[in-house]
A = this chain, B = another copy of it.
Amino acid sequence: MILLKNVLLQDQPACILTDGGRIARISREPFSVPGAEEMDCTGKAVIPGFVNMHTHAAMVLLRGIHEDLALYDWLSRIWKIEAGLDRDFIYWATKVACLEMIRSGTTTFNDQYWYCPHTRRAALEMGMRPVVSFIFLDSHDPELALRQREACQRLYRRTQEEWGDDGLFAISIHSLYTVSEENIVWANSFAVDHGLKVHLHLAETSQEFEDCKKAHDGLTPTAYFDRLGVLGSHVIAAHSLYLDDDDIYTLGKRGVNCVHNINSNLKLASGFRFRYNELRDAGANVCIGTDGAASSNNLDMLDHMRNTALLQKAWRRNPTEMPLQELFDCATEHGARALGLNTGVIKEGALADLSLVDITGTTFLSPGSVAANLVYAAHSDVISDVMIDGKWVMRGRRIPGEEEIIAGARSVLKQI
Contacts and interface: CB of A to CB of B under 8 A. Distances in A.
Contacts of A379: 300, 379-381
Nearest to A65: B368
A33 interface: no
A267 B65 contact: no
A262 to B, nearest CB: 9
A67 interface: yes
Contact of A362 (B65, B99, B320): B99
A68 B324 contact: yes
A60 B323 CA distance: 21
Nearest to A318: B269
B316 A373 contact: no
A103 to B, nearest CB: 9
Contacts of A277: none
A373 B293 CA distance: 11
Most buried by B among A64, A65, A272, A319: A64
Contacts of A413: 365-367
Contact of A266 (B100, B269, B300, B310): B310
A367 B66 CA distance: 10
Contact of A406 (B96, B323, B365, B378): B365
Given A269-B314, A272-B314, A298-B376, A368 B67 contact: yes
Contacts of A377: 63-64, 293, 297-298
Indicate how many identical chains form the complex. Answer: 2
Nearest to A103: B362
A96 to B, nearest CB: 5
A126 interface: no
Contacts of A368: 63-65, 67
Contacts of A71: 319
Interface string A291-318: 0010001101000000100110111111
A342 interface: no
A323 B68 contact: yes
A376 B66 CA distance: 12
Contact of A63 (B272, B317, B321, B376): B376
Contacts of A315: 272
A198 B409 CA distance: 51
A412 to B, nearest CB: 10
Contacts of A215: none
A372 interface: yes
A83 interface: no
Interface in A27-73: 60-65, 67-71
A155 interface: no
A314 B416 CA distance: 29
A201 to B, nearest CB: 18
Contact of A70 (B270, B318, B372): B318
A265 interface: yes
Nearest to A262: B310
Most buried by B among A266, A369, A373: A266
A268 to B, nearest CB: 5
Interface string A358-371: 00001101111100
16 contacts: A63-B368, A64-B376, A65-B368, A68-B319, A100-B362, A263-B310, A266-B311, A269-B313, A269-B314, A269-B318, A269-B321, A271-B317, A293-B377, A297-B372, A298-B363, A362-B405
Given A269-B319, A272-B314, 9 more contacts: A63-B373, A64-B377, A67-B376, A68-B319, A68-B323, A266-B314, A293-B377, A365-B409, A379-B381
Interface of A: 60-65, 67-71, 74, 96, 99-100, 263, 265-272, 293, 297-298, 300, 307, 310-311, 313-324, 362-363, 365-369, 372-373, 376-381, 405-406, 409-410, 413, 416
CB-based closest 4 A-B pairs: A64-B368, A297-B376, A64-B372, A266-B310
